[in-house]
C-alpha cells in the first residue's frame, strides 16, 4: 500500500513512524492509529531514530543496552553489605573459638589467660592473610584483627586479677588444687613462699579428711622437704606420722601388703620418736601391725626373686624389733634369702658373686640351716685339668713347678708388647703341681671365675695377658674343666 508520503509499504508490516509522528502533532490535527500504537509502547523501550531512513546497527545495540541497564535495579543496592560478610563471619567464628577454649579451663585465671592468648593469635591472622590486598579489602579485615588483638591484650592484662579472684573463690569452695595452681602462676615458689606452703598443708588436711591418705602424705612430705625453713614444714612434720599410720592401716585392711609395709617402715624409721610410732608398736603387740606387713612384703619380694629387697626388709626387722621373737624369725629368713640369692647367681653363671653370698651366709648366719647348706655348696668342687705349655703347644714351660687359681684379681696397670702391668690376686686360692710334661690337676675347685698363674724358678707367679686384659681366666661350673690352650705366649708375665 502507499502511505501519505508516497512511499510503498508492504502489506502486513507495521508502519514506521517518522520524527514528526513520534514526537508531536500539530494542534487541531487528530493522531493516526499508528501514533496511538506508538503511544501504548513503553517509553523506555522506544528507540531513537535518526533523520535518515535507516539507523546504523551499532546505535541500535547501544540504545538497547542503555535501556536494559536503566530498567535493572542498581547493583550497589545489593552489594552494600557483601564486603563485610567474610570479616563478620570470621569475627563470629573467632569469638566462638575463644569462648570455647576459655570454658574448658579449670579456673577463672586460666580461662582469662587462655582467652587472651587465643584471641591475640586469631587477631594476627587477618593482618597476615591480607598482605598485598587492596586497601579497601584489607581495611575491613584489619578492623576484625584489631578487635581480636584488643581482646587478647585485655585478657592478658586481666589475667593476674583473675587469678587472684580465682584463688579467693577456690579457698571458699575448698578447691585447693586451683589455689596451688593459681599461686604458682603468680610466681609463688619454694622454698620461701609461706602462702604456697600453707596452701599445700591445707590441701593435705582436706585429703586426710576425705581418706585420700596417699595424696596427703605426698603433699605433707613435699612441704617438709621443699620448705625446710618455714613454720609450715614443722607443721607438716607433725602431721605426717599420723597420716602414715592411718594410710598403713587402711592398706593392710585392704590386703595391700606392700603398701602397708612401705608406710610402716617409713613411719618406724623416719618418725620413730613420734606418738604414732608408739601406736604402731602397740598395734604390733596385738598381733596385727608393722611386723606382719613387713614379713608379708619380704615374702612377696623373695617369691619374685627380688632378693635385695627381701634382705633389706629382714635387716630392718632385726633393727626395729631387737631381742624378740620377730628378730629370731627375721634372722632365719634372712639367712635363707642370702642362700637362695647365691643359688640364683650360681645358676646364672655369676660364680664369683655367688661365692660372696655363700660366704655372707657362713660369716653372718653361721648357726642357721642355710649356713650348713652354704658350707656344703662351697665344699663341692670339680677338677680343673690342663697343661702348662709354651706357645708352640708342645713343650712344657718347665718341669715340676706350681700353678695357682685365684678367685679374685685386679689389674693395676696397662700392658705393652713384651712388658706386663702389675696386678694383684686374692680370695680363695688353689695350688697344683705340674709333672715333667707340664700336666696339672686341681681337685675340688668350687664354681667360680679364677685367674690362672704359674710360678717361675724365683718363686714369682705369672699369667698371660692380651693387652691389659688377663687371658687366662678360667670359669669353673659344676663339671670338670680341661685347659687345652697354650699357656705361654710372647706376652707373658
Mapped onto helix, strand or coil, the DSSP state of residue 385 is: strand
Mapped onto helix, strand or coil, the DSSP state of residue 139 is: helix
Beta bridge partners of 107: none
- Average pLDDT, integer, range 190-214: 94
DSSP string, 225-279: HH-TTSHHHHHHHHHHHHHHHHHHHHHHHTT-HHHHHHHHHHHHHHSTTSHHHHH
- The predicted pLDDT at position 22 comes to 41
Beta bridge partners of 470: 465
- Give CA 56 to chain center in angstroms: 86
Mapped onto helix, strand or coil, the DSSP state of residue 436 is: coil
pLDDT at 389 over 80: yes
Nearest residue to 176 via CA among 151, 147, 210, 150:
210
d(CA 333, CA 336): 5
Nearest residue to 408 via CA among 353, 366, 369:
353
What is the band of 214 on the pLDDT scale with cuts at 50, 70, 90?
very high
Q: Is the pTM of this model over 0.75?
A: no
Kindly report the number of other CB atoms within 10 A of residue 8's CB atom: 7
Residue range 42-73, pLDDT digits in tens: 554 444 555 455 556 555 555 544 554 445 44
What is the band of 478 on the pLDDT scale with cuts at 50, 70, 90?
low
- 103-141 in b/e form (b: 16+ CB < 10 A) is eeeebbbbbbbbbbbbbbebbeebeeebeeeeeeebebb
Helices H / strands E in the chain, number of each: 19, 10
pLDDT at 302 over 90: yes
- The predicted pLDDT at position 135 comes to 83
- Give the position of cell 626387722: 317
Mean per-residue pLDDT over the chain, rounded = 79
CATH dotted code for 382-483: 2.60.40
Query: CATH 2.60.40 region(s) of the chain?
Result: 382-483
Burial (CB count <10 Å: 0-12, 13-18, 19+), residue 273: exposed
- Average pLDDT, integer, range 194-213: 94
Are 454 and 462 contacting, i.e. CB atoms less than 8 angstroms apart?
A: yes
Burial (CB count <10 Å: 0-12, 13-18, 19+), residue 455: middle
What is the band of 491 on the pLDDT scale with cuts at 50, 70, 90?
very low
Residue 446 DSSP symbol: P
Are 165 and 108 contacting, i.e. CB atoms less than 8 angstroms apart?
A: yes
Amino acid at each position: 500500500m502507499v502511505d501519505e508520503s508516497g512511499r510503498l509499504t508492504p502489506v502486513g508490516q507495521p508502519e514506521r513512524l517518522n520524527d514528526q509522528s513520534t514526537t508531536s502533532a500539530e494542534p487541531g490535527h487528530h493522531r493516526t492509529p499508528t501514533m496511538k500504537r506508538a503511544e501504548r509502547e513503553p517509553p523506555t523501550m522506544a528507540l531513537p531514530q535518526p533523520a535518515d531512513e535507516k539507523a546504523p546497527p551499532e546505535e541500535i545495540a547501544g540504545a538497547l543496552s542503555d535501556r536494559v541497564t536503566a530498567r535493572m535495579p542498581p547493583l550497589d543496592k545489593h552489594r552494600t553489605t557483601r564486603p563485610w560478610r567474610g570479616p563478620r563471619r570470621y569475627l563470629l567464628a573467632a569469638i566462638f573459638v575463644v569462648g570455647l577454649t576459655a570454658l574448658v579451663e579449670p579456673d577463672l585465671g586460666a580461662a582469662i589467660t587462655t582467652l587472651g592468648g587465643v584471641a591475640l593469635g586469631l587477631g594476627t591472622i587477618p593482618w597476615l592473610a591480607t598482605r598485598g590486598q587492596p586497601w579497601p579489602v584489607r581495611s575491613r579485615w584489619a578492623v576484625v584483627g584489631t578487635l581480636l588483638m584488643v581482646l587478647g591484650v585485655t585478657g592478658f592484662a586481666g589475667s593476674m586479677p583473675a587469678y587472684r579472684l580465682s584463688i579467693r573463690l577456690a579457698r571458699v569452695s575448698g578447691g585447693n588444687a586451683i589455689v596451688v595452681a593459681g599461686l604458682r602462676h603468680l610466681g609463688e615458689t619454694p622454698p620461701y613462699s609461706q602462702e604456697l606452703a600453707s596452701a599445700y598443708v591445707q590441701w593435705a588436711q582436706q585429703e586426710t579428711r576425705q581418706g585420700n591418705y596417699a595424696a596427703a602424705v605426698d603433699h605433707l612430705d613435699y612441704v617438709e622437704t621443699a620448705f625446710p625453713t618455714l613454720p609450715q614444714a614443722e607443721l607438716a612434720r607433725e602431721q605426717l606420722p599420723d597420716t602414715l599410720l592411718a594410710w598403713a592401716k587402711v592398706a593392710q585392711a585392704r590386703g595391700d601388703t606392700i603398701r602397708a609395709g612401705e608406710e610402716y617402715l617409713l613411719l618406724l624409721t623416719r618418725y620413730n620418736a613420734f606418738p604414732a610410732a608408739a601406736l604402731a608398736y602397740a598395734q604390733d603387740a596385738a598381733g596385727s601391725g608393722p611386723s606382719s606387713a613387713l614379713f608379708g612384703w619380704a615374702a612377696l619380694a623373695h617369691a619374685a626373686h627380688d632378693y635385695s629387697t627381701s634382705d633389706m626388709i629382714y635387716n630392718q626387722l632385726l633393727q626395729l624389733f631387737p631381742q624378740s621373737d620377730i628378730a629370731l624369725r627375721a634372722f632365719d629368713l634372712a639367712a635363707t634369702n642370702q642362700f637362695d640369692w647365691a643359688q640364683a647367681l650360681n645358676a646364672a653363671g655369676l660364680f664369683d658373686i655367688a661365692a660372696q653370698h655363700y660366704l655372707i651366709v657362713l660369716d653372718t648366719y653361721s648357726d642357721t640351716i642355710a649356713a650348713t647348706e652354704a658350707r656344703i655348696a662351697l665344699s663341692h668342687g670339680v677338677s680343673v685339668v690342663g697343661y702348662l705349655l709354651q706357645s708352640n703347644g708342645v713343650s712344657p714351660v718347665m718341669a715340676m713347678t706350681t700353678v695357682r687359681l685365684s678367685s679374685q684379681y685386679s689389674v693395676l696397670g696397662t700392658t705393652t708388647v713384651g712388658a706386663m702391668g702389675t696386678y694383684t690376686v686374692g680370695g680363695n686360692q688353689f695350688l697344683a703341681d705340674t709333672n715333667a710334661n707340664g700336666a696339672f690337676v686341681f681337685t675340688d675347685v668350687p664354681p667360680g671365675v679364677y685367674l690362672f698363674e704359674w710360678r717361675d724358678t724365683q718363686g714369682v707367679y705369672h699369667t698371660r695377658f692380651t693387652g691389659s686384659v688377663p687371658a687366662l681366666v678360667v670359669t669353673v661350673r659344676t663339671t670338670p674343666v680341661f685347659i687345652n690352650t697354650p699357656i705361654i705366649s710372647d706376652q707373658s708375665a
